[in-house]
Amino acid sequence: MRYTNDYEEHRTLSDGTRLLLRMVRPSDKQAFAEGLAGLSERTRYQRFMAPKKGFTDAELVFLTEVDGENHLAIVAGRERPGAEPEGIGVGRLVRMEDDPESAELGIVVADAWQRRGIGRLLLERTTAAAAERGIRRIRAQLMADNGQALGLLKGFRGDSEEQTDHGVLTLEFPVPEQNPDESVDALMGLIRAIGQGVAITPEQISEMAAHPVDSMLSMVTLLRQTVTSPSPSDNDRCREWHS
């Protein structure tokens, strides 16, 4: 399984912004409170479908102290030299008690970072994590006039069911069985690392054959730790396959 509690992934946006994706932690409570305060009233209303001034202590516990199986959240942070990443987005899944193969989806991205591909990245990762946990269908509730969210879900909805009630649109759609983007990233990252001269053992090759995507991604993480001083040309290639 790739999306475990220690999952971390570095990505580079087309504008060069470096992101860190990871699972939510109990220590994120203050960051969540500050993040909500930084959202515009419109974004808060579209996410929570009601005015939202702040989180209660109980809500912060719910949002950050998750079990990773029935409730998970992936946070996106902008990497900053010499400082902790700045939280700019969250993708969340909560398994439905009455239907363990379905989960409710929620995604929010800070206003200044919308329309840059972060929402789609969080959607891809949360649905991939859902598939790992046996979740087969996703339910999303959003304002019917939220064209940006509808555009984000376009292409993921497949054989979807839609229902509108008092301006709230409920969508249900199947979880994609495979995310090709992860396979390409994993393979390109592995090729890049091998090109830097890092050897791979026969045992590691056997593991990759059994679990191709997860193993290659784990291998890439390990090799990145081994290769500590890439050349400028290596940085350029890394930027290309992460975009």
More confident residue, 129 or 158: 129
Per the listing, tokens 């649109």 go with 169
Domain with CATH 3.40.630.30 in the chain: 8-134
3-state SS, residue 48: helix
Homologous superfamily of 8-134 in CATH? Answer: Gcn5-related N-acetyltransferase (GNAT) (3.40.630.30)
Token pair recorded at residue 242: 């992460």
- For the cut 50, the answer to whether the pLDDT of residue 232 exceeds it is no
Element (H, E) at 182: helix 180-195
* Terminal-residue alpha carbon distance, the chain: 24
CA-nearest of 134, 126, 148, 150 to 102 is 134
| Tens digits of residue pLDDT in 177-206 | 754 455 555 555 556 556 666 565 555 554
| Residue 109 pLDDT grade (very low, low, confident, very high; cuts 50, 70, 90) | very high
In whole angstroms, give the CA distance from residue 3 to residue 89. 17
Listed in order, strand segments (DSSP E) in the chain are 8-12, 18-23, 71-80, 83-96, 99-109, 137-143, 161-165, 168-174
Q: How many residues does the chain have?
A: 243
